Amino acid sequence: MKFKRLNRQSRAIKKEIGKKIFEVLESSTFIQGPNVKKLEQELANFVGVDECITCANGTDALILAIKALNIQKNDVVFVPDFTFVASAEAIVLANAIPVFVDVDIKTMTMDPKDLEEKINEVQATMIYHPKAIVTVDLFGNVCDYESIKKIAKRYDLPIIEDAAQAFGSEYKGKKAGSIGTIGTTSFFPAKNVGCYGDGGAVFTNDLAIAKKIRSIANHGREDESFHYSRIGMNSRLDELQAAILRVKLEHFKEVEIARIKENENKFMKIKYAIQKEQLNCMIVRSQFTICCKTQQERLALQKRFDKEDIPTMIYYQMPLSEQKAFQIFSHLFTKKKGDSNTKKLCQRVLSIPFDAYLHEDEIKKIKRILRINLYFNENEKI
């Protein structure tokens, strides 16, 4: 069994993909061609925003979003401690300082209370300046935006929504990627909608921000002439990937969202703590993540899956604030008594195989192993 069944997806759309690739090869237009322009409009329509700018990958999407906010020396951007490294890495690469925020133990997304505490802590230094908030819609679950938006408004901070793991999810009827000042996503192959390589996109309703992001992504070029108004970068989605994504986006809308929800429902009655869906949220899960009671229970469960040749993944094994790469910012981390929620989750979470192409017999096999592990754990306690 594979962790993600991209081979099954490829077989389902092979004919349409082949036709699109052939058309691109025949056109000999490989950069900034018609498929890129059409994809950007189709993505903007799906997410529900005025502007979409495609780029080379999801990390670049975050860097572009942060750079568009005029980050200066000693500016701080707040980011969850429990997320993939790119969410914080992009902050540093855009010359800002990451300050890590704890997460809610049940939803696994940014804790609004801890966010406000960290903002006040940074303001109290009189040296560092709160500049923006990077929220992460983790494993398909969106953040508590009702609370976070109130905090953002109170401190005049824009929200950059990292929606890479939640493409297709909704919060109060708004698609992930459209909720913040700027939204970003990744088209890494394992995402809900993925390339046959790398790709990313930025979403916004602010036309001035969109224009600036387009410029930064294309070497700082301001218009169709060779005039450069700023130092930029080279981050463009190529025509082949855009053509592939156009097919995959339609298939995602027409087929995969419903299948993901159907397979999710088949797992919901397992007797493990499942990542809690945010209030007012419709999740399109990118990962199905459970939380064991202890690190030892997780290890036992992993071993049972390994014996059946079923892959599992731990997202994530260590808080970002404890990673060596961010040690130079450690003086800005709040030291709490006891373990943070992030630390607890790192010790207990486990993601099991899950996507739109998981077959009924595979679901039954996964659920059987979960039941067996639970049975032995309960008996050991007796």
Residue 1 within any structural domain of the chain = no
CA-to-CA dists, residue 325 to 86, 112, 250, angstroms: 12, 25, 39
Q: What angle do CA 193, 195, 197 make, to 5 degrees?
A: 145
Q: Which of 216, 248, 280 is the last residue of a domain?
A: 248
DSSP string, 49-84: -SEEEEES-HHHHHHHHHHTT---TTEEEEEESSS-
**Would you say 124 and 137 are in contact if contact means Cβ atoms under 8 Å apart?**
no
Asked if 210 and 260 sit in the same domain, the reply is: no
**Per residue in 278-330, pLDDT tens?**
999 999 999 999 999 999 999 999 999 999 999 999 999 999 999 999 999 97
Asked if 179 and 130 sit in the same domain, the reply is: yes
Q: Say how many CA atoms lie within 13 Å of 85 toward its Cβ.
A: 8
Residue 274 within any structural domain of the chain = yes
H/E/C letters for each residue in 185-211?
Answer: EECCCCCCCCCCCCCEEEEECCHHHHH
Question: How many structural domains is the chain composed of?
Answer: 2
Asked if 73 and 22 sit in the same domain, the reply is: yes
Rounded-to-integer distance, Cα 41 and Cα 52, Å: 7
CA-to-CA dists, residue 90 to 139, 160, 231, 366, angstroms: 19, 12, 17, 36
Q: What CATH number is associated with residue 260?
A: 3.90.1150.10
**Per residue in 81-113, pLDDT tens?**
999 999 999 999 999 999 999 999 999 999 999
- The series of mean pLDDT values per 10 residues for the chain, 382 residues long, is 96 97 96 96 98 98 97 93 98 96 98 97 93 98 98 98 98 98 98 97 98 96 86 97 98 98 94 94 96 95 96 97 93 71 97 97 96 73 42
Beta bridge partners of 282: 170
Q: Which of 225, 248, 271 is the last residue of a domain?
A: 248
pLDDT of residue 331: 75
Q: Give the strand pairing for 129-136 and 75-80.
A: parallel
